[in-house]
Chains A and B, each alone.
Chain A
Amino acid sequence: MSKLEDVIRAIGLRKKYGERTVLDIETVSVGPGEILACLGPSGAGKSVLLRILNLLEAPTAGRILFEGGEVQGLRGKEMVAVSRRMAMLFQDPLLFSTTVRNNVAYGLKVRKVPASEREGRVASALEMVRLSGFEEKHVSTLSGGEAQRVALARALVVEPELLLLDEPFASLDRLNRTALQGEVKRILKENGLCAIFVTHDQEGAGRIGDRIVILDQGRIVQEGAAGDVFHRPSSEFAALFVGMENLYKGVVTGSDNGLTRVEVQGKFLESTCEAGNGERVTAGLRPEDVTLVPPEQIEAPASSRNAFKGRVVGVELAGPTARVTALCPFPVVALITRRSLEDMGIAEGKMVGLRFKATAVHIIANKWGKVL
Chain B
Amino acid sequence: MSFDPEFYRVLFLSLAVSGTAALIGAAIGIPIGVALSEFSFRGRNAALTMVHAFMGLPPVVVGLFTFLVIARSGPLGFLELVYTPTAMVIVQVILATPIVAGFTHASMRGVDPRLGLQAMSLGATRLQAVLVKMREARAGLVAALIAGLGRVLAEVGAVMIVGGNIKGYTRVLTTDIVLQTRQGQYEYAIAEGLVLILVAVLVNAMLTRLQADKGREEVEKRVTGYPA
Contacts and interface: CB of A to CB of B under 8 A. Distances in A.
**Is chain B found bound to chain A in the same assembly?**
yes
A97 B136 contact: yes
A154 B124 CA distance: 13
Give the secondary structure class of A's interface. mixed
A49 to B, nearest CB: 14
A175 B123 CA distance: 32
Contacts, number: 67
A138 B218 contact: yes
A323 interface: no
Contacts of A94: 112, 114-115, 118
B123 A111 contact: yes
A213 interface: no
Interface stretch (A8-16, A85-93, A241-249, A325-333): A85-93
Interface in B21-75: none
Given A80-B125, A83-B123, A140-B219, A97 B118 contact: no
B167 interface: no
A304 interface: no
A202 interface: no
A97 B215 CA distance: 7
A140 B218 contact: yes
B115 A56 contact: no
A111 B122 CA distance: 9
B222 interface: yes
Contacts of A54: 121
A86 B135 CA distance: 24
Contact of A106 (B122, B136, B214): B122
A96 B213 CA distance: 12
Interface in B174-216: 213-216
B120 interface: yes
A106 B214 CA distance: 19
B132 interface: yes
A110 B125 contact: yes
Contacts of A56: 117, 120-121
Given A96-B135, A96-B136, A138-B214, A80 B123 contact: yes
A140 B114 CA distance: 18
Nearest to A79: B125
Contacts of A121: none
A113 to B, nearest CB: 10
A139 B119 CA distance: 16
Contacts of B215: 97-98, 138-141
A107 interface: yes
Given A94-B114, A94-B115, A96-B136, A155 B123 contact: no
Contacts of B117: 51, 56, 90
A164 interface: yes
A184 to B, nearest CB: 17
A139 B122 CA distance: 18
A311 interface: no
Contacts of B119: 96, 106, 110
Contacts of B222: 141
A23 to B, nearest CB: 17
A84 interface: yes
Interface string A86-123: 11101010101110000000110011000000000000
A110 B121 contact: no
A96 B115 CA distance: 8
Given A90-B114, A90-B117, A139-B215, 6 more contacts: A106-B119, A110-B119, A110-B124, A110-B125, A140-B216, A141-B215
10 contacts: A51-B117, A83-B121, A96-B119, A96-B132, A106-B124, A111-B123, A138-B218, A140-B216, A158-B122, A164-B121
Interface of B: 112, 114-115, 117-125, 128, 132, 135-136, 213-216, 218-219, 222
